[in-house]
Structure 1
């Protein structure tokens, strides 16, 4: 190029740089007076061909000269011009060039014009690149920082400066650790070093970003980074792009907490457990401390009324720090809140209350003055109160506190806490309803089961009843010890199919039926036959009832019925699909008698069989329901083996034996109801029983009176001789007159005097009121008047008429 010139703005990528752009100089008439080598390379004109010629004739096509003249006029007016001009090369090809024109003032000489040009495509691309780089550092919302190989900051853009609260000049030459807390700075620098060493870019890696000036405020940023290299591949440094994703991170964390809450809240049907699950989810995710206060009726499973308020009982709490006893009320505390407290406002309005900033003078903590003072000393600075509601009823409150985290609660936090409370409210109300139903069923079940078992002359007993745990609900297991005539006793255990109110009600009906049948002194197999008919009838009633009504279940049951006679030591047993009893001999050995199983009750049409066992005195008969021996981890045979092992051993108190069985076989919350009845047999002493077999003769009643008188005198019951002689005389006379066989008279002295007369006839005597003209029919009426109880029981052969009289005193 001829002439002297200086380019003010150059860069390696600048298309107007000295090595890349063509340049030429024009005099005031537009004649080419300077021509560069780059102009010759791009346009093909040599210096000789270009110099001295008008630029319009050399480089511009005719139709384009108007545009060139307008550009020249602009240069004269403004002292410079930039635009795109169509330019001809030596071969006549027309190309678009971006052209910069500047006036060159020469003292004492005419002005000249310097023109610098480059292909328009390169100029456009350069402008775009320059605009992008300018935008990244001046207008981009994404942070950008450039570091040298030692990670010293070379340049940062405005978003980075805004996050750090510094300017670009202040950041230059510093390291990241000069602005961030050590842990976060170390994390970022280690990742940038990895990018420098490997050249592998880092893409959208989220991490914490806490400033030294505000270490308590937690920000999250997404960082991408790449290594910078020159054209020779030498590492120049690393550039990182930083985006503040704190809001997005918190939103994602809130969503994750909601998902967690849906899985962890309401896993059980227990009110206190559900309340504790709520605070476990909320701490430390939302708050530093969370408390749950419920209406007392909720924990008790009682009905709630919209208009009823009153004090609340603390059900659960959790804190990130050791529980501040002096601030928070302990679980179980019953208390009311001041009318002007956020808690009271929340209860009245049923809307959440947010107190983001609590100054020391505020007493809105819902605490008494002393606890409020301790709360201020602890640093409590933010509070949220959210109502626990479900199905239009207020169940209680959730209070969330912050005193460790410096940030106050925000509306987003309140929304999240409200979501937690809504989920927990439904779960707690479900638990309340379940508790109410379970308490009702348990109360019904307890009323239907025997409360106290009076002392029996035939056996000593111990029993255990454990309702099912979890969601199974109450069941239909039951047991009974029923006194029978002749000092005998009936031992009963049964199990109704299913759980819930229906099972408990069916159990009550069966137990009542068993008592009625026991009063009839029927044999065990006959009792089970009548029960089978009853269960079949109950099933028929259910089928004829409302179809599809909730809670309906198949009616069925199993039962074991045993009758033990302490005089003969004979135990007659029959079972209907029930597990067999376990028999513990006096020496501690355990056996399972082989008894006919019999079908479960309700199948109908199948017979039951009784089996007689002769039991030595001090034998233990163990009756139980299947919940004792069945389990998910073992089969029934294994359960029977475990039961035998728990019962085996030397003589020990029945209560200890019952507890050892429960401890060995049952978990804390069994999955099914369990009834266990242990009965240790007794035998009446020979001096308590007197038995005579009398022939069927006219003198038999007189003989019976004499024997009775002598035995009562021996027992010291002279006061009862006259009455007992009348009773014995009447019963023996009836047997002699109507039975036609030998008569057995037996007297038993216990807490009552028992008189039994047996004969081979199966005809039962009937009590009737005789007319004044009748010669007979007054005997049984007289017996009924002289005794406290009387009745008839049938055996396989014959019958026995028995009476009981109270002893004197």
Structure 2
């Protein structure tokens, strides 16, 4: 090379900063050798030193063919070199090269002619170890094959989450072509709300470098916009050998089948829990409305977004379903929604009577005795009672509905209607089967409650008919009495009171309690009250009266009863009283605190064999006697002694009226849900001249 020739100089570093080098060139270890036109080595790169073993000083100036090639290959190499220099066509191929250490290795060459500004020609040879090159080629081929043919979705995104590469599997999952991904942002391709979390995970991996493996994402893509799919997504950060972040790689595996199987298994477990929950929560009382509310509480929100429970009004009125020829008349029992919604105004409120048009699901259930499922609801008038209700249901987004008959003892007694709005999943056959199972159990409980309600109503009517109507005048006494049946889901008992006028201006006072409940107890009570009234006319001592009642009660086996019987003589201001196992009466004297009378308690009526005793005490005008049954003071949680103390405390302030005292005692002592009857009688002594 003459002095006029200019050697290539090292380029200055760009002002904007150097571009990061590629690791692939370093991996291949590409050597560069510059030959003069006669084949002598003019330039020798450090990579050439590593590849061939000769230092720069040993190689520069030597003929390349003689230095590097075996004798048998030198002529072929010289011919190829001359052709490149003469024609300017490049050459590529492999030659076995003689290493400085004497070994031989196959080297891949790329030769090309270069021309400087003076028109002189050079030959540039690029060389790399063929074994290393073949390994890289094999790896690349394998990677390409895996990327293009693997069923796993693969993609590479840059630091701004723009797609750089996508394989066919991922393109198919997204429903977007491979070309449609290139250069687009992740959120442009997958814009649905479920993918917001996936984007956050990608940015987290970019920032931290910690991979995220098998993160489940559930959503819908353009490939199948009508159905949810599930994917297991793994995200890895990509770095070069210098540690510079290149972007991220994502692996996506469609696990929809596994997701659906797990979801169905979870739904099955949830249904089992719901059935078990229904068994424990539905039918805890014998109250019709409460049982319907319990059914509604079980199905919302686990099964439906809203529910309505309607019962045939004929069942409530007569205990038997009677549809007749016209539209069935329903009474709404319970309504519940999972959240505040305008749809609640479209549902008939509890207590209201209503009828439904012939195409309504409830009417369908009554006619066919079969459930009615509307998977995808389009015409809201089908399930609405009127056009305004249909508008409210549509505005609330109700999209799926089903109606299930309430069948008890082979008769349809009502309907349960369920709907979904916020829950995007339509009702399916499994949901219908679950609703039917819950409805079947609840229907029996509701029917039992209806039956109990009718029996209780009959018993209460009988009970009240057997109680006396107090006379407005009793010589020397001001009398007030009350009877309160047990709470709605308990049967009435056999509590009674009586005020019987006797000869000589005397008055008999009686309060009793037949143990038991229902119509039999009320009937036994009526027989005892009749016997008491009959025996009172015989003008017997109270103890003798109780003795006769004991014999009568013994004949009413298996019933026993407690009773307090007293006779007041206003002329002598004396009270004769006897007790048969009853709670002690309260005596209230003027200027003294109320006290429990210390009477010989005796044994209940019907036991027999033990005599009764009569106690005589004075009862002056202004004094009061309080007779009551255990339902006034007994509870399941409080000791009876404490409750009797409460009774005395409440009687301490004297009311001007015995009627007021009765009401106050019932209001403050008896719980609204008391499980027992209460009979209460208060008699105040007064001068004979007073009315």
Establish whether TM, by shorter chain, passes 0.5: yes
The 3 A distance-change label for structure 1 pair 399 and 214 is: farther
Q: What is the CA distance between 1:611 and its match in structure 2? A: 0.8
Partner Cα distance (1:166, 1:645) in 2 = 84
Q: Structure 2 vs 1, CA of residues 431 and 353 (structure 1 numbering), >3 Å: closer, same or farther?
A: same
The answer (yes or no) to whether the contact 1:176–1:185 under 8 Å persists in 2 is no
Deviations along 1:330-389, whole A, 9 cap, x unmatched? 3333232223444323221111222334445x7433523454455556555443222221
Partner of 1:522: 540
Inter-partner Cα distance in structure 1 for 2:467 and 2:545: 19
User: 1:328: which partner in 2?
Assistant: 347
**Cα 1:357/1:460, change in 2 over 3 Å:** same
Equivalent residue, structure 2, for 1:498: 516
Match for residue 337 of structure 1?
356
Give, in whole Å, the separation in 1 of the partners of 2:315 and 2:167.
59
Q: Which residue of 2 aligns with 1:680?
A: 684
Q: How does 1:81-120 map to 2 (within 5 A)?
A: none
Q: Name the structure 1 match of 2:650.
A: 646
Deviations 1:101-146 (A, max 9, x none): xxxxxxxxxxxxxxx99xxxx9xxx9xx9899679x7446xx7777
Deviation at 1:195, TM superposition (A): 7.5
User: Aligned residues, how many?
Assistant: 561
Higher mean C-alpha displacement, 245-254 vs 410-419: 245-254
Query: Is contact 2:566–2:576 with CA below 8 Å preserved after alignment?
Result: yes
Q: CA deviation at 1:165?
A: 3.7
Normalised to the residue count of structure 1, the TM-score between the two structures is: 0.59
Asked if 1:249 is matched to 2:259, the reply is no
* RMSD of Structure 2 on Structure 1 (CA): 4.6
Determine if the alignment matches structure 1 residue 626 to structure 2 residue 663. no
Checking the alignment, whether the CA contact within 8 Å between 2:176 and 2:222 is kept in structure 1 is no
Q: CA contact under 8 A between 1:300 and 1:432: conserved in structure 2?
A: no
Shift of 1:614: 0.5
- Identify the residue that residue 60 of structure 2 maps to in structure 1: none
* Structure 1 residue 661: Cα displacement: 1.2
> Which of 277, 281, 284 in structure 2 is aligned with 1:267?
284
Listed one character per residue, the Cα deviations across residues 3-44 of structure 1 (whole Å, up to 9, x for unaligned) are: xxxxxxxxx9xxxx999xxxxxxxxxxxxxxxxxxxxxxxxx
> Is it true that 1:411 corresponds to 2:429 in the alignment?
yes
2-structure distance, mates of 1:674, 1:213: 73
Match of 1:610 in 2: 614
Pairing of 1:178-577 with structure 2 (within 5 A): 178=188, 184-189=194-199, 209=219, 219=228, 221=230, 223=232, 225=234, 237=248, 239=250, 243-244=255-256, 245=259, 248-249=262-263, 252-253=266-267, 255-257=269-271, 259-260=273-274, 261-262=277-278, 263-300=280-317, 302-304=319-321, 310-319=328-337, 320-324=339-343, 327-359=346-378, 363-372=381-390, 375-376=393-394, 380-404=398-422, 408-452=426-470, 454-469=472-487, 471-539=489-557, 542=558, 555-577=559-581
Distance 1:458 1:233 in 2: 114
SS at match of 1:496: strand
Distance 1:429 1:677 in 2: 37
The answer to whether the 8 A contact 2:404-2:417 is kept is yes
* Alignment check: 8 A CA contact 2:216 2:233 kept: no
Match for residue 598 of structure 1? 602
- Measure how far apart 1:514 and its partner are: 1.7
Aligned equivalents of 2:526, 2:473: Cα separation in 1: 23
Q: Any idea what SS the aligned residue of 1:675 has?
A: strand
Contact 1:144/1:239 (8 A) holds in 2: yes
The alpha carbon displacement at 1:297 in A equals 3.0
Partner SS, residue 412 of structure 2: strand
Unaligned runs of 5+ in 2: 1-22, 30-71, 73-129
CA distance in 1, matches of 2:227, 2:419: 18
Distance of aligned partners of 1:207 and 1:642 in 2 relative to their CA distance in 1, 3 Å threshold: farther
Instruction: Give the direction of change, closer, same or farther, for the CA distance of 1:625–1:152 in structure 2 (3 Å limit).
Output: farther
Distance 1:505 1:202, change over 3 A: farther
Distance 1:533 1:453 in 2: 29
Deviation of 1:484 (Å): 1.9
Distance 2:242 2:592 in 1: 93
Alpha-carbon spacing, 1:421–1:500, altered in 2? closer, same or farther (3 Å): same
Q: Is the 1:493–1:625 contact (alpha carbons within 8 Å) kept by the matching residues of 2?
A: yes
> Displacement of 1:483 after TM fit?
1.8
Cα 1:581–1:231, aligned 2, differ >3 Å: closer, same or farther?
farther
Could you tell me whether the CA contact under 8 Å between 2:154 and 2:166 is conserved in 1?
Answer: yes
* More RCO (CA 8 Å, sep 6+): 2
For residues 610 and 488 of structure 1, do their structure 2 counterparts lie closer, same or farther at Cα, with a shift above 3 Å needed? same
Structure 2 counterpart SS, 1:538: coil
Instruction: Report the 3-state secondary structure (helix = DSSP H, G, I; strand = E; otherwise coil) of the residue aligned with 2:448.
Output: helix
* Contact 1:199–1:226, Cα closer than 8 Å, also in 2: no
- C-alpha spacing 1:181/1:684, structure 2 compared with 1 (3 Å): farther
* Aligned-partner Cα distance in 2 for 1:366–1:664: 46
Cα distance in 1 for partners of 2:652, 2:582 equals: 22
Offset at 1:255? Answer: 4.4
Offset, 1:599:
1.8
Pair 1:488–1:179, CA change in 2 (3 A): farther
CA separation of 1:363 and 1:626: change in aligned 2, threshold 3 A: closer
CA-CA distance at 1:598 after TM superposition: 1.3
Q: Distance in 2 between matches of 1:265 and 1:207?
A: 38
Alpha-carbon distance change, 562 to 338 in structure 1, aligned in 2, over 3 angstroms: same
